[in-house]
């Protein structure tokens, strides 16, 4: 499931942020999503949080929690796995 979740998240990132110049294969699991790396700004982060919450039925409760969850694809996978109902 880990590879599938990783691919799914990368696809969501590319689609949500309209990253036409970046493909799913270009994004590594440890690539920083905010600031350096993919260069997401706060509006991008908010859009991604909304999409992830809808897709995976999780709730990111604060900006601090969002910052931690969105630090990389791997951290986002960890957050989803930890907060997804069994």
The string of pLDDT tens digits covering residues 21-54 is 888 898 999 988 887 678 788 899 999 999 999 9
Burial zone of 33 (CB within 10 Å; 0-12 exposed, 13-18 middle, 19+ buried): buried
Q: Percent of the chain beyond pLDDT 90?
A: 62
* Number of neighbouring beta carbons within 10 Å of residue 17: 20
Domains of the chain are 2-83 (1.10.1200.10)
Query: What average pLDDT does the segment 10-28 reach?
Result: 89
Please say if the pLDDT value at position 73 is more than 90: yes
Give the Cα separation of 13 and 81 in Å (integer).
17
Q: What is the DSSP letter of 32?
A: B
> Residue 72 has what DSSP assignment?
B
Q: How confident is the model at residue 1 (pLDDT cuts 50, 70, 90)?
A: very low
**3-state secondary structure at position 31:** coil
Q: What's the pLDDT band for 86 if we cut at 50, 70, 90?
A: low
């Amino acid at each position: 499931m880990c590879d599938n979740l990783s691919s799914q998240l990368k696809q969501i990132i590319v689609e949500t942020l309209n990253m036409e110049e970046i493909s799913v294969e270009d994004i590594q699991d440890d690539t920083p999503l905010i600031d350096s790396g993919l260069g997401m700004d706060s509006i991008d982060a908010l859009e991604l949080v909304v999409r992830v919450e809808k897709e995976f039925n999780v709730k990111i409760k604060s900006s601090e929690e969002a910052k931690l969850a969105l630090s990389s694809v791997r951290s986002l996978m960890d957050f989803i796995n930890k907060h997804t109902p069994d």
